[in-house]
Structure 1
Amino acid sequence: MDASPPRYRRFSRLGPVPQSAADLPAYTRRNTLAQPAVRREPVEHIFPLEDSKGRPWASLTLRSSAKSSKSTPMYNEKEHINGSFQLHAEKGDSIHSVTVNITGRIVTGAGVNDTYIFLSQSLPLWSKADSRASGAATKLLGASVWPFSIPLQKAVSGKDGVLYRLPETFLERHTRASVAYEISVLVSRGKLRPDSHVKTRFAYVPNIRPDPPSALRQLAYRENSLIPGPEVDPTGWKSTTTAVIRGTMFQRREASVHCTLHLANPLSYTRGTVIPCRMTLDSTDEHALDLFSSPSAPMVTLRRCVRYQNLSTSSKRAPDWAESFEDVSRAVFWPAPSGSDTYSRNLEGEIKLSKDLASTSAFGIFTVSYTVVVSSFETVGFVPSSSHQSILLEPVTIATTYARDSPRPHAYAPPEYAPLPVPRTHNDYFAQANMPIFGRF
Structure 2
Amino acid sequence: MSIFGSITTSPLISSKFQFRSRVVVAGSYQRYLRNTILRHCASVSTMLDSSSSADLPDFEVFEGEPELPLYTRRPSAGCSTVLVGRQQRKFRYSVEKSLAGPGITLTVYGDSKISNELPSFMAGDRVAGVVQISVNNGEDIRAVHISLRGRVLTGRTSDAVCTFLDLQETLWTEGSGSLEANVHSTNESDYIWPYSLVLPKDVAISQVDGEKEQVFPLPHTFTEPGVPARVQYELEVFLKQTKWKRNRRIATEIGCFQSNPNRIRSGYIPSTSSFQCAEADGVTRWKALDFDLTGIISQFHSRTVHFFCTLSLKDPLCYTRGSYIPLLLKIRSQDKQALELISSPDAAIVQLNRRINYKDVQMCGGKSSRWSSVVETVGAVTWKSHEGTLLEEPVLAEYSSTIIGKVKLKRDLAPSSVIANMAIEYFISVHPFSSPSFQPKDNKSGSLLSQMVQITTDLSSLSEYE
Shorter-chain TM-score bucket reads 0.7 to 0.9
- Render the CA deviation track for 1:63-121: whole Å, top value 9, x for unaligned: 11256875122111221112111122223551111111101111111122111111111
Q: Match of 1:365, as an amino acid?
A: N
| Cα drift, residue 246 of structure 1 | 2.5
2:175 to 111, 129, 141: 129
The aligned residue for residue 408 of structure 1 is none
The answer to whether residue 255 in structure 2 is matched with residue 203 in structure 1 is: yes
Q: How does 1:290-329 map to 2 (within 5 A)?
A: 290-311=340-361, 316=366, 319-329=369-379
Structure 1, unmatched stretches of 5+, are 1-33, 405-441
d(CA) in 2 for partners of 1:393, 1:367: 17
Indicate conservation of the 8 Å contact 2:151/2:231, yes or no: yes
Amino acid paired to 1:194:
R
Q: Percent identity?
A: 26
Whole-angstrom CA distance in 2 between matches of 1:400 and 1:138: 41
1:385-408 per-residue CA deviation (whole Å, 9 max, x = no partner) reads: 11331111111111112799xxxx
- Match status 1:363 vs 2:388: no
User: 1:364 deviation in Å?
Assistant: 3.0
**Which residue among 439, 451, 461 is the counterpart of 1:394?**
451
Instruction: Rate the CA distance shift 1:176–1:85 in 2: closer, same or farther, 3 A.
Output: same
Structure 1 residue 383: Cα displacement: 1.0
On the 8 A contact 2:293/2:440 being kept in 1, the answer is no
For residues 325 and 103 of structure 1, the distance between their equivalents in structure 2, rounded to whole angstroms, comes to 28
Instruction: Tell me the equivalent position of 2:217.
Output: 165
The letter for the 2-side match of 1:142 is S
CA distance 1:91–1:292, change in 2 (3 Å): same
Q: Which amino acid aligns with 1:143?
A: D
For 2:159, give the aligned amino acid: N
Given that 1:329 and 1:352 are in contact with CA atoms closer than 8 Å, whether structure 2 keeps it comes out as: yes
Q: Distance in 1 between matches of 2:99 and 2:241?
A: 19
Asked if structure 2 preserves the Cα contact closer than 8 Å seen for 1:210 and 1:402, the reply is no
* Counterpart in the other structure of 1:143: 190
- Aligned pairs for 1:30-429 within 5 A: 41-52=87-98, 57-66=103-112, 71-91=117-137, 94-131=140-177, 142-160=189-207, 161-210=213-262, 212=264, 229-234=274-279, 235-250=284-299, 252-311=302-361, 316=366, 319-336=369-386, 343-388=399-444, 389-401=446-458
The one-letter amino acid paired with 1:269 is Y
Aligned-partner Cα distance in 2 for 1:315–1:273:
39
Distance in 2 separating the partners of 1:403 and 1:337:
37
Q: Give a deviation string over 1:181-212, Cα, whole Å, max 9, x none.
A: 00011111111101111110111111133364
Q: Distance in 2 between matches of 1:365 and 1:93?
A: 44
Contact 1:372 1:393 in 2 (8 A): yes
Deviation at 1:145, TM superposition (A): 2.1
Inter-partner Cα distance in structure 2 for 1:276 and 1:340: 24
**Aligned-pair distance for 1:333?**
0.7
Find the aligned partners of 1:139 and 1:339 in 2 and give their Cα distance. 81
**Contact 1:248 1:385 (8 Å CA) reproduced:** no
- Displacement of 1:337 in angstroms is 5.8
- 1:199–1:240: structure 2 CA closer, same or farther, 3 Å change rule? same
In the alignment, structure 2 segments of 5+ residues that lack a partner are 1-44, 47-84, 208-212, 392-397, 462-466
**Superimposed CA distance per residue, residues 324-379 of structure 1 (whole angstroms, 9 cap, x where no aligned partner):** 11111001112246767782111111111111111111123211111100012221
Contact kept, 8 Å, 2:151 with 2:162, in 1: the verdict is yes
2:449 maps to a residue whose letter is L
Tell me, in whole angstroms, the C-alpha distance in 2 between the residues paired with 1:149 and 1:121. Answer: 10
8 A contact 2:150–2:234 mirrored in 1: yes
- How far 1:263 moved relative to its partner? 0.2
After TM superposition, the structure 1 = structure 2 runs for residues 427-438 of structure 1, keeping only pairs within 5 Å, are none
In the superposition, relative to structure 1, how do residues 326 and 225 fare at CA in structure 2: closer, same or farther (>3 Å)?
Answer: closer
Q: Which amino acid aligns with 1:232?
A: C
What TM-score, normalized by structure 1, do the two folds share? 0.73
Contact 2:153 2:162 in 1 (8 A): yes
CA distance in 2, matches of 1:119, 1:287: 60
Deviation at 1:317, TM superposition (A): 7.3
Aligned to 1:412: none
Aligned residues: 359
CA separation of 1:259/1:56 partners in 2, compared to 1, >3 Å: closer, same or farther?
farther
Q: Judge conservation of contact 2:353–2:428 (CA < 8 Å) in 1.
A: yes
Structure 2 distance, partners of 1:192, 1:55, is 11
Q: Please report how far the alpha carbon of residue 268 of structure 1 lies from its aligned counterpart in structure 2 after TM superposition.
A: 0.5
Residues 267 and 396 in structure 1, CA contact (< 8 A), matched pair in contact too: yes
CA distance in 1, matches of 2:389, 2:262: 29
3-state DSSP of counterpart to 2:252:
strand
CA deviation string 1:249-305 (max 9, x = no partner): 258222222221000011101111111111101122223222222222211111111
SS, match of residue 231 in structure 1: helix
Q: Give the distance between the partners of 2:264 and 2:273, measured in 1 at CA.
A: 16
Distance change in 2, residues 1:102/1:318 (3 Å): closer
Shift of 1:316: 4.2
Change in 2 beyond 3 A, CA 1:229/1:390: farther
Structure 1 residues 70, 302: closer, same or farther in 2, change over 3 A? closer
Judge which range, 371-380 or 337-346, deviates more: 337-346
Please give the alpha-carbon distance, in whole angstroms, between the structure 2 residues aligned to 1:182 and 1:163. 21
Conserved 8 A contact 1:210-1:270: no
Deviation at 1:57, TM superposition (A): 3.2
Aligned-partner Cα distance in 2 for 1:402–1:90: 45
CA apart distance, 1:159:
3.7
Give, in whole Å, the separation in 2 of the partners of 1:335 and 1:240: 20
1:419 counterpart residue number: none
Give the whole-Å Cα distance in 1 for the aligned partners of 2:355 and 2:436.
31
Alignment-mate amino acid for residue 145 of structure 1: I
Change (3 A) 1:316 1:115: closer
Letter of the 1:149 partner, please give it. S
